[in-house]
């Protein structure tokens, strides 16, 4: 192995003494194939000794490389153990080491325990599994889905990795390649990925082995492997000469060691070292002063002192003026909104200055915020640097020569009636100051004075508003509070069995006052009249409470008498992922109940639907409330780490699935018990509800609300009977309450959620995913909702106000430019363009977009400042004004805009002087064309056509390849791909390649766009997808609609987990009218097409696919096989009925099904051919409880290599449909197809296209009949 070398710079007397692991056992020969003097072993926590085999692991040398593989969830890197495949050599403990390798990733599953790289460690095993095996090790490579250095020692509780991340390196993913290096120099270690290097000083472990490793689910080929081992020298002295090196630095300046001379002295003489020989630590230029850096070589350290000098301001510029630049005499100075940019050391650094870094001077006098301005006139305002008084910036403001003439209260405060001792409240008041120049100014609360209000006595009074000597009055009334009546403020028992005596324990009656106060009455001040109560028969009785004060009217409440009812309890398992062998209920003789969901595929609790083991009873959803409690022992709950879908406890539902039915089943629920709701969320005892579900397919789901009762994860040691763990779930007229033991009761205000799907409510105990509980001392109390305590409305939570600018900050518009503003609360806004106010006191309504005309200067940048004042009658976290500064840059180009890989933002957009792609996209005008010239456009960031960057129906914005060019926009695995949020764009003739892992190649989130004759390949997720690009947009009418993908191809798309990247998709949040025509999806790791619908998100718009082809999906062009669904056309999801149409299309040689409804009961398929798909040519099926509405006409299904039967309802059999029954393809009349009925069954790949981009179909699968 020429590329695998080992250099030993050792004297013969210290030659390495190897302590190799013992010879490999015969059963590992297939797993480990090494012909060189390197060794290999699979050891540690690898899931059991029987898992150490060639199916799960591989270490295999080739002529110039070695491949290591860890598969099938075997192996790991975790805090207290590791399980790895290791290719290694012995090294002396005290040697210096440098090991390098090129790592090329073939497969990678995104998981925090997956890793690979170079590793030095102190111990190995001979292909042995030990679950808690660990040791001292240090590594450079991949862990936690990123590239980093990391280490562990036996005396540490976790892997040390923070601070050693390589930010410039791509995330590990298939096809990524990394240059790795790990160096040991004395007691220091240097780890490198590419050009990034980190020094690790705190690792103190011994290392005796150097090698390469993989863990968990990854395959990596290492080439250019070099291991250099050098005896650690006995250095007598390290001479450091820094006289020719830069030793003075500015704050945050980078180290420059050019000119540094380092000489090592040992018993043999002197040796001048290069920068590769020694390691530098300690450099830190973040703060001014003396900084000491250290030079390390072979365990000897020398220090060099450096001077870090503070920065000095050399220039200042006013970026944004204060929001207020016009004053009247007597106003106070307010510089809020002022933005000053400081330049330091002649351009070394530029940043925004904070207000404590400068002073403000007017008329030669320093002025501070809140100082009063008296002298009228134009004012030159000077902003002076505190650090360097020689540097300043200036702007103009005006104190208008006009006098105040009066105050105008435009709107009285909401509160004008006060009670004795009330505090003054002016919420809602609107006051304007009027001036002699005819202008008027709205006053904010702090700018005027308010007279005290004496509320100690009754009467008609005034609140006086004063400003600059002018006054105005608000008339108010002060009065004594008065009793207005009685109210039952705590209810006694209100539901009784026949012949049960009335019980008024707990009754509380209060006087109610007109100011909202309540005062509890003593029991001797009222009498309870229960004469109408008849315990012998069912019914509702009114109980009246009569005060002994004659001036007050009686108050009453009702009680219900019912026949006593024994609750029948039942058990049932239903929902996705449950099974009769994994989900069980056992009622024990002593009255306890065992409820089990065993293993990772034993149901789930998701945001939208459930699969559960359920022990329950039924009550009336309309008429009943309840309280259910029990002591619960948790035998087992949730694996480590938890996966976010396990749960147990008490649950109430408005619908349950059929017994043992494993299809998606959704219901509104209220529950208390073990729950997390996500892999990163705390897994404790919570009260949670799911709301909005309208039907069992999950339509309308609004997801889950939750509130934590105890964040400690329940287990066998902290639950009953080891300690108190009594759970209680109750439904009241106000909502659902939950508590543990007698602890704090939490309430979620959702009383109506469980009477949507059914007139019954199902109440009981459940488990899901990994959970086993034993339930004891069950206590259920059912009461009549009609006579229970009335509903209490939830308190209003304060809203944090904000206002956002939606309009584009880069635009080609001039006279027709508009500023778009939206706030989340009501209020008014002023908008200033430059120094001119262009909108004054414009009302903003919460959630609505306000449009303000703001013409721009051509090819200029224009500053805007908005001042938003929230309406103070709302419940908010703050009522302060919100000032927003923003700039809008205009740029226009004549004619077509040319771009090239070498184009710049300052280009003219001509063929001779092109611009870059982003500049063209940001400034292209309606009806204008961007010409993309040939070449590779390698990017580090997404290409975005932002929302509102729109063309029109008659003047689309066009992005197209130059004639005879095939430009490639390559995202280099650095970022997501194209995000098209605008409307009316036409993209044509361009390749889009290589988005980062788990990001899509091209997302269409706007409307009425065309993407034509383009290719999408090697992306880290789906090649092209139509779905919303605004994650907060829940209005389905705003989801992307009427987009056309025409004559385009998507292939070799692969996400890190190899189960999610499709060729094309319109799913989850796509709107109406989207079309794929003349498109080809092949060799994508998941599906060719995915039209998935999620019950919680709701029905998507109908998609049309026509004249399209799906083949070889489920594996890449290089043969790599994925772990995804592998379908050709996947046409739905979760049983939601969406009438997608697919016609004139073919699917062949896909890894699963050619055409699958994926449970969508409404697919319409006309004139399609499906051939030789491994999992079946056709699967049009749905869940048992869903009505089928399939249409299938002129469908030809033919198998050549597989016997998978087509799946479809019998009603789809017809004369025109030839469906495969496992042995032959026949129609409803029994006519059987043979290979002779096709012109050809051998595809000529890849497909070609004609000059217009249309598919050249050839005679493959041409049906003679």
Q: Distance between CA atoms of 551 and 549, rounded to whole angstroms?
A: 6
Backbone angles phi, psi at 1044, to 5 degrees: -125, 125
Confirm whether 1130 is a catalytic residue: yes
Burial class (CB in 10 A: 0-12, 13-18, 19+), 957: buried
Pick the closest to residue 992 from 1078, 1043, 1053 (CA basis): 1053
Backbone angles phi, psi at 49, to 5 degrees: -65, -35
| Other beta carbons less than 10 A from residue 554's beta carbon | 13
Token pair listed for 611: 């699969």
Pick the closest to residue 1167 from 1097, 1106, 1242 (CA basis): 1106
Distance of CA 953 to the CA centre of its chain: 34
Burial class (CB in 10 A: 0-12, 13-18, 19+), 485: middle
Radius of gyration of the chain from its Cα atoms, rounded to whole angstroms? 38
Pick the closest to residue 762 from 877, 863, 628, 871 (CA basis): 628
Q: Distance between CA atoms of 926 and 1067, rounded to whole angstroms?
A: 29
| Other beta carbons less than 10 A from residue 1229's beta carbon | 8
DSSP-derived pairing of the beta strands 1074-1077 and 1044-1046: parallel
Q: Distance between CA atoms of 691 and 1096, rounded to whole angstroms?
A: 10
Q: What is the DSSP string of 439-487?
A: -EEEEPGGGSEE-----SS-EEEEEEEEETTEEEEEEEEEE---EEEEE
The single-letter DSSP state of residue 1107 is: S
Which residue out of 324, 1130, 1264, 1265 is catalytically annotated? Answer: 1130
Phi-psi group of 1216: left, alpha or beta (phi > 0 → left; psi -120 to 50 → alpha; rest → beta) = alpha
Token pair listed for 1100: 């998507």
Burial class (CB in 10 A: 0-12, 13-18, 19+), 234: exposed
Q: Distance between CA atoms of 479 and 626, rounded to whole angstroms?
A: 44
Q: Is 660 helix (H, G, I), strand (E, B) or coil?
A: coil
Going from the C-alpha of 882 to that of each of 370, 433, 447, 873, 877, the distances in angstroms are 18, 21, 16, 17, 13
| Other beta carbons less than 10 A from residue 196's beta carbon | 15
Element (DSSP H or E) covering residue 382: strand 377-385
Distance of CA 109 to the CA centre of its chain: 19
The single-letter DSSP state of residue 278 is: S
Q: Distance between CA atoms of 815 and 944, rounded to whole angstroms?
A: 24
Q: Which residues are catalytic?
A: 1130
């Amino acid at each position: 192995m020429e590329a695998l070398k080992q250099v030993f710079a050792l004297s013969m007397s210290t030659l390495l003494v190897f302590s190799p692991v013992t010879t490999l056992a015969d059963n590992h020969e297939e797993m480990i194939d090494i012909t060189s003097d390197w060794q290999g072993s699979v050891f540690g926590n690898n899931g059991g000794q029987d898992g150490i085999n060639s199916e799960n692991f591989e270490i295999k040398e080739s002529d110039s490389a070695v491949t290591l593989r860890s598969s099938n969830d075997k192996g790991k890197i975790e805090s207290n153990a590791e399980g790895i495949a290791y290719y290694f050599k012995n090294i002396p403990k005290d040697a210096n080491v440098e090991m390098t390798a090129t790592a090329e990733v073939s497969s990678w599953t995104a998981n925090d325990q997956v890793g690979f790289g170079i590793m030095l460690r102190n111990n190995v095993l001979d292909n042995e599994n030990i679950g808690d095996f660990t040791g001292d090790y240090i590594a450079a490579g991949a862990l936690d889905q990123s590239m980093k250095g990391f280490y562990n020692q036996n005396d540490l509780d976790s892997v040390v990795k923070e601070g050693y991340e390589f930010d410039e390196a791509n995330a590990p993913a298939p096809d990524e390649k990394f240059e790795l290096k790990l160096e040991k120099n004395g007691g220091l270690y240097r780890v490198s990925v590419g050009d990034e290097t980190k020094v690790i000083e705190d690792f103190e472990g011994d290392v005796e082995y150097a090698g390469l490793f993989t863990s968990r689910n990854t395959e990596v080929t290492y080439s250019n492997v070099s291991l250099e081992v050098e005896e650690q020298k006995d250095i007598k002295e390290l001479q450091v000469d820094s006289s020719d090196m830069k030793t003075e630095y500015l704050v945050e300046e980078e180290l420059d060691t050019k000119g540094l001379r380092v000489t090592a002295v040992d018993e043999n003489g002197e040796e001048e070292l290069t920068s590769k020989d020694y390691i530098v630590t300690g450099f830190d230029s973040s703060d001014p002063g003396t900084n000491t850096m250290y030079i390390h070589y072979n365990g000897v350290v020398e220090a060099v002192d450096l001077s870090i000098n503070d920065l000095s301001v050399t220039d200042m510029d006013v970026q944004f003026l204060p929001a207020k630049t016009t004053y009247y005499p007597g106003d106070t100075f307010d510089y809020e909104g002022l933005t000053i940019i400081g330049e330091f050391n002649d351009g070394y650094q530029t940043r925004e200055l904070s207000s404590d870094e400068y002073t403000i001077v007017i008329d030669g006098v320093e002025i501070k915020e809140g100082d009063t301005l008296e002298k009228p006139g134009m004012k030159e305002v000077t902003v002076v640097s505190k650090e360097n008084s020689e540097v300043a910036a200036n702007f103009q403001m005006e104190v208008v020569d006009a006098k105040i003439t009066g105050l105008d209260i435009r709107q009285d405060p909401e509160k004008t009636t006060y009670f004795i001792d009330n505090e003054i409240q002016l919420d809602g008041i609107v006051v304007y100051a009027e001036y002699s120049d005819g202008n008027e100014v709205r006053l904010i609360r702090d700018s005027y004075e308010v007279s005290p209000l004496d509320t100690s006595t009754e009467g008609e009074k005034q609140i006086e508003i004063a400003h600059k000597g002018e006054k105005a009055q608000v008339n108010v009334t002060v009065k004594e509070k008065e009793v207005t009546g009685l109210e039952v403020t705590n209810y006694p028992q209100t539901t009784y069995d026949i012949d049960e005596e009335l019980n008024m324990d707990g009754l509380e009656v209060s006087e109610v006052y007109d100011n909202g106060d309540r005062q509890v009455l003593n029991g001797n001040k009222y009498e309870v009249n229960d004469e109408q109560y008849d315990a012998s028969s069912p019914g509702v009785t009114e109980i009246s409470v009569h005060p002994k004060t004659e001036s007050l009217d009686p108050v009453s409440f009702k009680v219900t008498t019912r026949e006593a009812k024994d609750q029948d309890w039942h058990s049932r398992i239903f929902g996705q992922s449950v099974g009769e062998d994994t989900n069980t209920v056992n009622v024990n003789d002593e009255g306890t109940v065992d409820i089990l969901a065993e293993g990772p595929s034993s149901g789930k609790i998701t945001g939208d639907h459930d699969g559960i083991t359920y022990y329950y009873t039924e009550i009336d959803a309309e008429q009943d409330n309840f309280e259910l409690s029990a002591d619960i022992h948790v035998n087992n709950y949730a694996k480590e780490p938890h996966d976010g879908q396990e749960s147990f406890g008490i649950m109430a539902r408005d619908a349950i699935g059929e017994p043992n039915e494993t299809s998606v089943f959704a219901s509104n629920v209220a529950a208390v018990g073990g729950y997390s709701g996500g892999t990163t969320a705390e897994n404790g005892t919570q009260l949670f509800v799911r709301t909005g579900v309208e039907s069992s397919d999950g339509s309308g789901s609004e997801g889950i609300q939750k509130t934590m009762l105890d964040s400690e994860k329940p287990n066998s040691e902290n639950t009953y009977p080891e300690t108190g763990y009594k759970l209680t779930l109750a439904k009241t007229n106000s909502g659902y309450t939950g508590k543990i033991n007698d602890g704090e009761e939490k309430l979620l205000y959702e009383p109506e959620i469980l009477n949507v799907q059914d007139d019954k409510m199902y109440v009981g105990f459940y488990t899901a995913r990994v959970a086993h509980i034993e339930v004891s001392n069950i206590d259920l109390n059912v009461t009549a909702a009609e006579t229970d305590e009335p509903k209490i409305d939830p308190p209003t939570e304060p809203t944090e106000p904000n206002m956002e600018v939606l309009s584009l900050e880069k635009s080609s518009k001039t006279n027709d430019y508009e500023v778009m503003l939206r706030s989340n609360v009501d209020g008014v806004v002023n908008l200033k363009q430059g120094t001119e106010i262009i909108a004054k006191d414009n009302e903003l309504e919460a959630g609505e977009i306000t449009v303000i005309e703001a013409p721009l200067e051509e090819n200029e940048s224009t500053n805007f400042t908005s001042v938003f004042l929230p309406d103070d009658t709302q419940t908010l976290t703050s009522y302060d004004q919100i000032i927003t500064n923003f700039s809008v840059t205009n740029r226009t180009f004549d004619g077509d805009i040319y771009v090239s890989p070498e184009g710049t933002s300052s280009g003219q957009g001509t063929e001779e002087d092109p611009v870059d792609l982003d500049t063209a996209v940001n400034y292209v005008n309606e009806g204008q064309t961007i010409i993309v010239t040939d070449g590779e456009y390698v990017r580090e960031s997404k290409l975005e056509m932002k929302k509102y960057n729109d063309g029109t129906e008659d003047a689309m914005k066009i992005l197209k390849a130059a004639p005879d060019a095939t430009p490639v926009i390559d995202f280099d695995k650095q970022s997501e791909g194209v995000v098209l949020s605008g409307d009316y764009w036409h993209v044509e003739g361009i390749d889009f390649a290589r988005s980062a892992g788990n990001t899509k190649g091209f997302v269409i989130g706007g409307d009425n766009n065309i993407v034509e004759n383009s290719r999408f390949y090697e992306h880290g997720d789906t090649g092209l997808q139509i779905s919303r690009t605004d994650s907060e947009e829940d209005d389905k009418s705003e989801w992307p609609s009427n987009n056309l993908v025409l004559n385009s191809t998507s292939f070799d798309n692969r996400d890190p987990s190899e189960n999610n990247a499709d060729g094309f998709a319109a799913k989850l949040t796509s709107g109406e009218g989207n079309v794929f025509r003349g498109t080809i999806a092949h060799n994508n790791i998941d599906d060719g097409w995915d039209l998935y619908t999620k019950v919680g998100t709701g029905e998507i718009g109908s998609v049309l696919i026509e004249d399209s082809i799906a083949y070889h999906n489920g594996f890449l062009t290089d043969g790599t096989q994925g772990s995804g669904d592998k379908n050709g056309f996947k046409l739905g999801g979760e049983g939601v009925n969406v009438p997608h149409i697919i016609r004139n299309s073919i699917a062949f040689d896909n890894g699963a099904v050619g055409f699958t409804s994926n449970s969508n009961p409404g697919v319409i398929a006309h004139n399609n051919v499906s051939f030789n798909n491994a999992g079946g040519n056709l699967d049009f099926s749905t869940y048992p409880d869903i009505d089928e509405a399939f249409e299938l006409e002129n469908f030809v299904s033919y198998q050549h290599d597989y016997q998978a039967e087509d799946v479809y309802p019998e009603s789809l059999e017809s004369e025109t449909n030839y469906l495969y029954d496992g042995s032959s393809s026949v129609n409803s009349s029994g006519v059987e197809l043979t290979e002779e009925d096709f012109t050809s069954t051998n595809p000529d790949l890849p497909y070609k296209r004609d000059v217009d981009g249309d598919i050249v179909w050839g005679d493959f699968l041409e049906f003679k009949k």
